Chains A and B, each alone.
Chain A
Amino acid sequence: MREKRTKVSNIGNNPESTVSAIASPRISLLMGRLVSMGGEASKKSLLKGGPLIALLLLIAYLSFASPHFFTARNLSNVAVQSSINAILAIGQTMVIISGGIDLSVGAVLALSASVAAVAMTYHGQSMVVGMLLALGTGALVGSISGIVIAKTKVPDFVATLGIMTAARGLALIVTGGLPVPSHKALLEVGAGLPSGLIWLGSGDILGVPVPALVIVAVTIMGWHILTNTTLGRAIYAIGGNREAARVSGISIDRTKIMAYTIMGLLAAVAGIVLTGRLNSANALMAGGAELHSIAAVVIGGTTLLGGAGGVVGTLIGAFIMGTLGNGLNLLGVSAFWQQVIMGMLIISVVVFDQWRRRRFAV
């Protein structure tokens, strides 16, 4: 019995993360399965559902530890607090599966939000134009990352590091280094952001916060792209074995550019939601967001090696981070210690996940 537990083969990739890559749609059914099914099927679900188990344990613990945690109001709070990270992380998942990484997401978020906010407040543009500008900016910057990576063969890490720095700079130029709308503009000219935009960040539909609905929409879109489209297939293929994908007629350049463009677009979506929530945009908003999004992807079980993973895991990853932050706040843990705990969490979730896979798999 003991021998069975020891590590089996290791080619650098995890067995089940890969299986869940293509089969990730099934994870949504997982909660039901966990409870209802016995034998082989439930064992398989258990293997896929590591991050979900962690999230459920966390929720269970916090529900006992704090009377304020498991309330409708607080849970929608968690959803809103997780939304920016979740939206970015869904895009990041696609980039990471394709074998890349995008460090520029926070900066692109800030740049698109700044462009939109400046246009809407100081240039009298409507909300629709503002949003289109934001999405256009995000997609443009994302596609530039993609083109640079595809055409110059600069590593993804380096290219997006450069784009990150440049995009922050551009955001500072666009905003003049001030929040938009600035205090002064708000008081003297009365130029504020359109109320519709604010609703996107902090409104609700039948009690469900709008950012939560945006997460649902973005997750479905990400899942759809990865499982049901040729683009998704190409993303898995180039991340799994670039040369083999190339020989099979997959265009590496086109796939990379598409993945980074979608990432840029989602950064803009996150920028719009965040601007609405803060009722303001500025060049330095969402600092460190790139690393949080990568953390959510990793916690969700997608390997940084590429070629395997899925968005549902990532969503759970983002919620683990959001729930923990919220819970620690409720428990009165200082913000400084929260960072320490979050760091430990990232490592321990991945360690736990790998142990669990070795223990139960193959």
Chain B
Amino acid sequence: MPTEPLLRLEAIDKSFPGVHALDHVDFDLYEGETHVLLGENGAGKSTLVKILSGSLPKDSGRIILRGKQVEITSSYHARLLGIGMVYQELSLIPDLSVVENIFLGRLPRRRVFFIDWPRMYEEAQQVLKKLGLIIDPKVPVRHLGLAERQLVEIAKCLSLNERILLLDEPTSALSEEERQRLFNLVNELRERGISIIYISHRLSEVPIVGQRVTVLRDGKKVATLPVNGVGEDTLIQMMVGRELKEQYPKEKMIPGEPILKVQDLEVKGALHHVDFTLHEGEIVGIYGLLNAGCTTLVRALFGLQKTDSGKIYVDGRRVTISSPEEAIGLGLGYLTRDRAGDGLIHPMPVLPNITLANLKEFSQLGLLQHQKERREGEKRIKELRVLPADLGRCAMYLSGGNQQKVVLAKWLCSGSKILIFDEPTRGIDVGAKSEIFQLFNRLVKEKVGILMISSELPEILAVADRIFVMRRGSFTAEYQRGEATQEKLLKSAS
């Protein structure tokens, strides 16, 4: 390893009102290495890279790039310095095409005024091919799934020829297969001499992509270690600051009566003859690759997607569900996969976000009962350990993982008997994850039935009582708990 690092951060400090986000953090990055930044939600990972990418100013500290001290004043400036950032919350413009998004702000020109479309398409095709993404670059980003958008976001940075690449939880929306592709890509980039700061809270990714790892906790640096020879347990303990009993706690439950029964559900071109039953106190997992139809299925159940035929029974009664309002009235709850798109109300404070799906419970004749609402909110943020524990704080000022907890809290307090969770732990760290699964255990005891879509294989294997695998809109396999393995699921899914 060369003696002088490419990038050195010294005593970086940053405070937000009520939160000391970064407390004199030191960090360095050598040429051609991938340095993983690990930490729980709100540990300060995103804040650190935002400072590096110029989207947040630091309060104090020094940034030394190639031996010279620099002040990064804007993301444009960061780009000029060769620092590229792939955001956790996607920054694409939905109505522009893939190629326009990739080249936004630096469209290649011909004769000053005219955009050089042929060149742009060609370059875009190359970048997309490198990522193994097979999409038409002329398609508006709006039509893409979340994972595809994430890849386009990465493509945007790749085409910039950056020397330093900041990846903020790039895999949180990706399926297993796409994740693998991304790892290959990251390693390939590194071999080409690009230095990468890789934010993650997935421990399993650390040895695959990184050479060194730095753990942050509560805004402070815990340690920087070479990846080789560090066990997952050590890392977890460093991240969480306490011993974690079990990653996926699961208590045994005997399922009760069927509460949700779906027969022959059909959505032309997306779902074909889907049949399944969910019982009281049961967790049913649905696993599928991108665009397999899992999300379409649950959207159809929740009245967000028109169905062409099929029957739905709730508590043995035949129902038709044509809006989320009706679905909630029947006792369903639905945590969506796209938190920014249809999960969180960003300008609203935490409390109204939590109680939004169950306003009936906290009102009488249309009048809100503020005290009752407040008590519930306090209970929920304590239970899920939302940080900062401030009900009046605007949801948009929480870190990604804490936002996820707020949306989760919304459905936990909705009083639903049938909860549909689409990637419930997206963006959530180990410590919080095990808490969430403990909550699942409690819900199950209260006879709630849970339908969980997850692309995290270990998670779905550990938590679900039964697992359905979906491919191209149909269930291709059903496994009982204990029957399935990662290999079997992947095989049925592809």
Contacts and interface: CB of A to CB of B under 8 A. Distances in A.
A234 B323 CA distance: 16
Interface in B312-355: 323-325, 327-329, 334, 336, 341-349, 351-352
A245 B366 CA distance: 17
Contacts of B140: none
Given A228-B367, A249-B324, A237 B345 contact: yes
B57 interface: yes
A344 interface: no
A233 interface: yes
Contacts of A232: 368
A247 B342 contact: yes
A237 B55 CA distance: 28
A19 B392 contact: yes
A110 to B, nearest CB: 31
A18 B323 CA distance: 29
Interface string A230-251: 1111101101110111111111
A22 interface: yes
Interface string B381-412: 00000000000101011000000000000100
Given A3-B57, A19-B392, A248-B356, A233 B342 contact: no
10 contacts: A8-B56, A8-B57, A18-B348, A18-B349, A233-B359, A240-B345, A246-B324, A248-B324, A248-B410, A307-B345
A28 B302 CA distance: 42
B357 interface: yes
A102 B123 CA distance: 46
A251 B325 contact: yes
Given A3-B57, A244-B343, A22 B325 contact: no
B363 interface: yes
Contact of A9 (B56, B351, B366): B56
B368 A228 contact: yes
Contacts of B58: 3
B231 interface: no
A15 B394 contact: yes
A4 interface: yes
A245 B346 CA distance: 11
B346 A246 contact: no
Contacts of B363: 229-230
Contact of A229 (B57, B347, B352, B367): B367
Interface of A: 3-4, 6-9, 11, 13, 15, 18-19, 21-23, 227-234, 236-237, 239-241, 243-251, 305, 307-308, 362
Contact of B366 (A229, A250, A251): A229
Interface of B: 16-17, 55-60, 302, 304, 323-325, 327-329, 334, 336, 341-349, 351-352, 356-357, 359-360, 363, 366-368, 370, 392, 394, 396-397, 410
B342 A230 contact: no
B347 A18 contact: yes
B29 to A, nearest CB: 22
B356 A250 contact: yes
A325 B325 CA distance: 48
B366 to A, nearest CB: 5
Given A233-B359, A237-B352, A249 B57 contact: no
A243 B299 CA distance: 13
Given A228-B367, A228-B368, A230-B368, A248 B348 contact: no
B357 A248 contact: yes
Contact of B341 (A233, A236, A243, A362): A243
A11 B396 contact: yes
B437 to A, nearest CB: 23
B352 A233 contact: yes
Contact of A241 (B324, B344, B368, B394): B344
B416 to A, nearest CB: 10
Contacts of A308: 347-348
A95 to B, nearest CB: 16
| Of listed A8, A18, A241, A248, residue having the most chain B CB within 10 A | A248
A228 to B, nearest CB: 5
- SS class of chain B's interface: helix, strand, loop or mixed? mixed
Contact of A22 (B352, B359, B366): B352
Nearest to A254: B325
A229 B324 contact: no
A237 B346 contact: no
Given A22-B392, A248-B410, 7 more contacts: A11-B396, A229-B366, A234-B359, A244-B342, A307-B346, A362-B16, A362-B17
Nearest to A229: B366
Contacts of B348: 18, 21-22, 236-237, 240, 307-308
Contact of A19 (B16, B336, B394): B394
Contacts of B55: 9
Nearest to B17: A362
A303 to B, nearest CB: 8
Contacts of A18: 347-349, 394, 396
B392 A23 contact: yes
Contact of B347 (A6, A227, A234, A307): A307
| Of listed A21, A229, A247, residue having the most chain B CB within 10 A | A247
A52 B196 CA distance: 49
Contact of B349 (A22, A241, A248): A22
Contacts of A9: 55-56, 397
Contacts of B302: 247
A114 to B, nearest CB: 33
Contacts of A245: 345, 356
A244 B344 CA distance: 6
A6 B368 contact: no
Nearest to B336: A247
A250 B342 CA distance: 12
Contacts of A6: 57
Contacts of B56: 8-9
Contacts of A239: 347
Contacts of B349: 18-19, 21-22
A322 to B, nearest CB: 29
Contacts of A3: 57-60
Would you list the 9 A-B pairs with minimal beta carbon distance, nearest first? Answer: A243-B342, A249-B328, A240-B345, A307-B347, A248-B357, A18-B347, A248-B356, A308-B347, A241-B345
A241 B16 contact: no
A239 to B, nearest CB: 8
A231 B368 CA distance: 9
Contact of A240 (B17, B329, B346): B346
